[in-house]
Amino acid sequence: MEEEGSLVQALTTTCNPNPLFQFNLTSLSSAQSLLLNPSTSIDTIHSTVESLLRSLPHLYTNATSLSLALSVLAQSAPLHPSLSQTIVSSIRSLINGQDRTSSAVLSALLSIVTSCHNEDGSSILTSILDEDLVLSLASSGVYKIRSGILRLLVFIVARWKCSGKVLTEEVMVRVFLRFTGDIYPILRSDAIDGLCEFLTVARDGVDFCVPECCLERAIGLIEDDDELVRVAAVRMVGLCGEMLGEKENGVDKTEQMDTIFTQICSMARDMSVKVRIEAFNALGKVKLVSDAVLMQSLSKKILGSKNGGKLIIKLDKASKPCAAGAYIHGIEDEFYEVRKAACRSLGIHAVISIKFADDSINYLMDLMNDDSESVRLEALDSLFYMAAHGCLNVQEKHMHMFLGLLTDMSSLVRHGARKILQLIKLPKLEIFKSTVNELIANLEKYPEEEEGIFFALFSLGKNHREFSLDVAKDLAKQIERTSKGDLTFAKPSMAATLVVCIASPLSENENAPDTPVVLFSYAVPLLGRISRALQGTFDQNFLLTFLLDHSNIKWKSRDLMPEIASKGICEGLMQSVIKFISKSVGDAWSLIKGSNRNDAEKILRSCTKELEIISLNASQSASTTLDFFSKYIKILQLISKIWCKFDFRNSTTFHIKSHHILLEKLDSAVRKIRYSFTGWTKEVECHILELSLLVDVFTFSLARIPSNEYLKNLLSKISHLEAISCLSDFTKEIKRLIEERSSVMVNLHSLLKVFECPGLEFVREMKPIKAELKVVGDDSENPLTFVPGLPAGIRLWITLHSTSSTDRLWLHMSVRGRRPQYVFLDLSNFEGSEEVRKCSSLIPFYETPKVASFEIRVCIVIECLSEHYEVLKERDGPKYDVTELSVEKLVYFSSVKSR
């Protein structure tokens, strides 16, 4: 406080009103520190301000000191609102006609009002300005004074609606128009900008003659020598044209709008880039232009016009400007900013005139090859604007260029192209199909953009009902003639085509009876992907209900909703499918036991179809369960075929001697399902073991007298079943026959009659035991090299899933016509855990043939250690039967000599 007091005392002494006093800049710096410091007391602030205000009249002889003092007061006024009015009034009193002070005062006042809130600034403006003062200062011969009052007027315009009408509209316009003739270009351009701001803010309330007056002045300035003046003048011509086109006065404005439009077109060839850009921006604002003038702007050749009358507005120039080729010059301009502005304006006028739209499409399409991404985007925006207003008539000649944008390097351009495809109407089926194919190729190249591509495909299908129905029928025929496994609906092309096919019936529900029901079935697994693409258009539950109700899937929406309500779409759908499959299996088994094979196989084929559909877009865990059930149903189909070979008139006869292949397939299928999964429930494990027992029973029918190895195998499996669960009637009966040393052959019929297929439920923890192989550096065109008769190395990347340390895995390699070679895979050489193990290894193949080239089939197999009856003691490799864990790979070799 003592330091503060000393500063105030020093300031008071220094700011002595004596006119002979020499101003001290150090004291002014101290005053600034006190006023801007938030900790300064109120009394000190008041004393400091009063001292500064008393000193102002005596600082005229020192312009620098006066400016600094005014600057300090201007900075402090917004910080101390209670003093702001006093400060402003004192500063305002200094405007007494002395040019040297007025400019500094105006600068300080502008600083104060611009720092205040709207209401405070308006109050200050009302207190300091009047018409006489404004007109007087605007007529000053000093540039800084004219500049200061002009900036203050521009500020007033910005606050026009909350300024309490400091000046009347007439005075405001009159002052601005006076400034447009100033000798300084910067003041002329600022005045035009101020007028544009005024017309924009007060456009609804201004008289009709105001924009006409401003337009006449702007036209007189569009050929000004200064670039900024021309830019501002062109901007005002466009704004006035826009306002005059909106004013309702019962007069035909076509000729007037043609004049304004033509006048702006004359600036499209200005030497200044900024002027050309502003010219095309202004062209887009002028509406109600005649077709003749618009068409002239697209042709460099002078066209005949019925609208060639005299100008409504008197021009200073004797020659009438022409619109010829204005847009051509714009879209061919060397600067991309000009081309971009021309695109935008072109699209606006294309909506106004259909004839102009048809011709402008050609030029917009040409701009799709522009080097600038922003120009291509602007051209796409214009085309989209035209499409949204129904003015885009895309012809066949344009499609090649347009569809090429779907593979543009810019994601924004690709998105813009798809937006237009959602709206346009294609004229021919061939064009429709080629567009769909291009979008599919787009999806395959940019899978991360699937949602946007799906929405574009959906919109195309919805907008072209007949065309999409034709595609739907073709796809249904393709499904009918394609066997399972050859047609993968998880592929982008299949999923995308389905979206096109269901779009129209989903949107209108009119084509649903005509659309093949199989397509709705195959669309169910894509529910999540489709619903994400159609967010905001269709609810996911509605989509599911619609697809199920129109499909041939047995589990309809009413059956699914309880599961979905409690577990969500994905898991609810999955569990419902499994329940349906489980029930169907039970029905099929009853028919098999009743020797009604045809009906049973129909049910099982239907189950296979349902699983195929639902697995297309399933999660990893769900895919495992579905794969298990698919293999399980295949086992039942084989059992059904074997069952029909029984001669029930003679229960000891099993006519399968000519059908060894069926039994081998069944044995392999059961072994495959038994050793390809882990994480079973106790019930599932028991049933799989009983299926293995059933295979043994069928096998006994061929052996006449079962060997001891077979009996040991039976007892081992029964012991396993006893350890994990209660024995079923089927297992108990086998155990009884073995213990009583009875012939299983004699009781084969009774054994099969007590075998049951229980309903299996969804197993969440089930995991696949599988392997993945990748051959490094090999393909059919660039085979590996070898020397005939010497070992050849194969570099492999191996990945194992869900394998146990007790599992015995082998690499199986075979050449046609030769005995296979096995290489044991030591799991200790793999990195990772039981979940995932990985290893890179160079594997030798020893018995290379003496040929120019050959190929090896390679896969990974697992030993079936629980199958005790198949010990192969003489084989160099696995001692038990094996089952494949990986997809077989082909490895190509070419001899060194042939290279």
| Better pLDDT: 497 or 109 | 497
Supply the mean pLDDT for the chain.
78
Distances, alpha carbon 516 to alpha carbons 87, 462, 478, 528, 556, in Å: 84, 16, 12, 21, 17
Among 428, 453, 451, 431, smallest CA distance to 442 is for 453
Least confident of 25-34, 113-122, 751-760, 786-795: 113-122
Q: What's the rounded mean pLDDT across residues 548-571?
A: 64
Which pLDDT does position 453 carry in this prediction?
A: 92
Q: What's the rounded mean pLDDT across residues 35-62?
A: 72
- Is it the case that residue 138 has pLDDT exceeding 70? yes
Which pLDDT does position 455 carry in this prediction?
A: 92
β-partners of residue 894 are 785, 853
Q: What's the rounded mean pLDDT across residues 490-515?
A: 79
For the chain, give percent helix, strand, coil, nearest 5.
Answer: 60, 10, 30
Could you give the percent of the chain with pLDDT greater than 90?
Answer: 12
Which pLDDT does position 486 carry in this prediction?
A: 45
Q: What's the rounded mean pLDDT across residues 84-106?
A: 68
Residue 409: DSSP 8-state: S
Which pLDDT does position 646 carry in this prediction?
A: 62
Residues 6 or more apart in contact with residue 467 via CB below 8 angstroms? 426, 429, 432, 433
**Exposed e or buried b per residue across 272-303, where buried means at least 16 C-beta atoms within 10 angstroms of its C-beta:** bebbbbbbbbbbbbbbbbbebbbbbbbeeeee
β-partners of residue 892 are 855
- Is it the case that residue 275 has pLDDT exceeding 90? yes
β-partners of residue 796 are 775, 841
Q: Inter-axis angle of helices 209-221 and 169-179, to 10 degrees?
A: 10
Contact 503, 457 (CB under 8 A): yes
Which pLDDT does position 306 carry in this prediction?
A: 46
pLDDT tens digits for range 367-382: 888 889 999 999 999 9
pLDDT tens digits for range 776-818: 877 767 788 888 888 888 888 999 999 888 889 999 998 887 8
Which pLDDT does position 872 carry in this prediction?
A: 52
Contact 65, 28 (CB under 8 A): yes
- pLDDT band (50, 70, 90) for residue 484: very low
Least confident of 483-492, 564-573, 718-727: 483-492
Among 810, 828, 830, 833, smallest CA distance to 820 is for 810
pLDDT tens digits for range 623-672: 788 888 889 999 988 988 887 776 544 544 455 455 678 888 888 899 89
Could you give the percent of the chain with pLDDT greater than 70?
Answer: 77
pTM: 0.65
- pLDDT band (50, 70, 90) for residue 316: very low
pLDDT tens digits for range 396-423: 887 888 888 888 888 999 999 999 998 8
Contact 382, 347 (CB under 8 A): yes
In the structure encoding, which two tokens stand for residue 819, read together?
């005995």
Q: What's the rounded mean pLDDT across residues 763-768?
A: 78
Rama region for 777: left / alpha / beta (φ>0; ψ in -120 to 50; rest): left
State the Cα–Cα distance between residues 60 and 874, nearest whole angstrom.
120
pLDDT tens digits for range 506-539: 887 665 678 888 888 778 777 778 888 888 788 7
Q: What's the rounded mean pLDDT across residues 688-714?
A: 75
Among 699, 703, 528, 705, smallest CA distance to 617 is for 528
Residue 231, Cβ density class (10 Å: 0-12 exposed, 13-18 middle, ≥19 buried)? buried
Which pLDDT does position 340 carry in this prediction?
A: 93
- Is it the case that residue 315 has pLDDT exceeding 60? no
Among 656, 661, 663, 603, smallest CA distance to 633 is for 603
pLDDT tens digits for range 233-267: 999 999 988 888 876 666 777 888 888 999 998 88
Least confident of 100-114, 154-168, 829-843: 154-168
- pLDDT band (50, 70, 90) for residue 860: very high
Task: Note the Cα 859 to chain centre separation in Å.
Answer: 40
- Is it the case that residue 339 has pLDDT exceeding 90? yes
CA angle 848, 851, 852 (to 5 degrees): 115
